[in-house]
Homo-oligomer: A and B are copies of this chain.
């Protein structure tokens, strides 16, 4: 049953077509397509697989993301006259003009995709996507599919690692747009880090397009743009219940500031007037959303005092201030100090709202600093992460590849002198084997035509990366990882909503045993070939060293 495509889906498809036009690919896809076409091989049924060779970030797992975009791309894949004219200008001049007619008529109506569901935990060397169809077409799709899966999966996996490092309760805010690889990189980052476990983004367009909750209040520039209390206008604010006349909010706050300084024994002389003016202006504009950045000058000598004064004045008028943001220095230590002051104010001035203020920390957070932060005592409720999240500093590329495994029903294999670059031939099925505690312990890659493994039945297989000895295992349960998601130009499997996929990431990670999820030095999860697939590999490798006598044939 084809999933219905609403207006939203068509709009998404249009937007994707603009982002990923069919010319956004490597030139050699066209020269190869021409050579196939020229020799009449372009319609031969062929199968490619997409996979990566190593789990990213030195970790034990990855997440698979980007599938929805791949399907939108396939639905809309075709060349315009303008595309074809450009190709005519860059392909060699002796290219047969009929080839361009052929390109003009191409689409993905002959393509079938089977894939792991988006948001699933996956492992190196397991095929994530199988692309079957006419040889020339499936060859042309290579670069675009890689481009759509590579970064989406990488940044989603990175987000999941930050989520693991941060623990389940702390809120995570993505704010990487300004440091991403260009505008679309920023948008893709917001989308897939949300999928990977982030709660919020600063990116408004990501909220608009993908419904991700957006957050943010003020930058340092806002604070430093103020110089004196004279710049605060209006200076009055009405109480939340609106019963009384607006009060002089500046004077009210100055009164509270004096009390706060007394309580904390602070020198009022070090307090920055411009910062107070900025906080006042913001609070008057958004009395229910007061969350200033408090380290523009000095947290302890100015920012925290100014915050408390404005927040106490807001409380007096019945509003609930939200909290503070720290953007430099030792976030853990400062958060403890800040929380201590909040508790003291709450108690001393009898303002219970001060017990539920939140502390946001943002300061070039990396995975390592998130791990350290989580180990140390601190009072940070929300952590904002930018650069290290979206650029994946620890490993900025996943390195997915797209390899031919079958042509005209015959398995194909690349037997490289570099064993890492050899491929596993044939059309496959992938099963996840679970132990008695429902934990996955092995992904088994079989030939597609083999009978599937069964629960409680022992099987013999060949783990990848070991020498070629077999092992025997008995799964408690077996699940099939592949779904057919695209046939005859149509999406055939109802796609999950973004929220469902986000849920799937966490549930998929939940089932994984902690030993594979450790961020550093995890145990290596086993991916194995079935006996029959292993024999096929051996046979083709042996075939490659059998003397060939085609030179003697006519």
Contact = CB atoms under 8 A, between A and B. Distances in A.
Interface of A: 18-21, 23-32, 34-36, 38-41, 46, 48, 83, 86-87, 90, 92, 94-95, 135, 139, 142-144, 146-148, 150-152, 155, 175, 177-189, 202-205, 207-208, 214-225, 227-229, 231-234, 251, 254, 257-258, 268-273, 276, 281-282, 284-289, 295-299, 328-329, 387, 391-393, 396-400, 402-404, 407, 410, 412-418, 421, 423, 544-545, 547-551, 553-554
Contacts of A29: 216
Given A24-B203, A39-B285, A258-B551, 10 more contacts: A20-B183, A23-B208, A28-B218, A29-B216, A147-B180, A224-B404, A227-B412, A328-B417, A328-B421, A387-B399
The 8 closest A-B pairs by CB, nearest first: A184-B184, A28-B216, A181-B181, A27-B216, A391-B396, A269-B547, A146-B178, A181-B185
B254 A551 contact: yes
Given A178-B143, A181-B181, A225-B135, A418 B24 contact: no
Given A23-B204, A46-B225, A233 B412 contact: no
Contacts of A412: 224-225, 227
Contacts of A188: 181-182
24 contacts: A18-B18, A24-B186, A27-B203, A27-B214, A27-B215, A28-B202, A31-B216, A31-B218, A32-B221, A83-B208, A142-B221, A146-B179, A181-B181, A182-B188, A221-B403, A224-B412, A229-B550, A229-B553, A269-B549, A272-B544, A295-B417, A297-B416, A393-B396, A393-B397
Contacts of A95: 286
Of A152, A215, A276, A286, most buried by chain B (CB within 10 Å of CB) is A286
Contacts of A282: 31, 35
Given A23-B205, A219-B32, A397-B387, A234 B298 contact: no
Contacts of A187: 24
A257 to B, nearest CB: 6
Given A178-B150, A204-B24, A39 B233 contact: yes
A114 B302 CA distance: 35
A204 B369 CA distance: 41
Contacts of A217: 28, 31-32
Nearest to A186: B147
Nearest to A547: B269
Contacts of A328: 416-418, 421
A204 B551 contact: no
B551 A257 contact: yes
Nearest to A152: B182
Contact of A271 (B41, B219, B551): B551
Given A182-B152, A184-B184, A220-B414, A544 B297 contact: yes
Nearest to A363: B418
Nearest to A32: B222
Nearest to A219: B28
Of A34, A40, A183, A185, most buried by chain B (CB within 10 Å of CB) is A183
Contacts of A553: 229
Contact of A397 (B179, B271, B423): B179
B285 A329 contact: no
B185 A182 contact: yes
A118 to B, nearest CB: 16
A182 B184 contact: yes
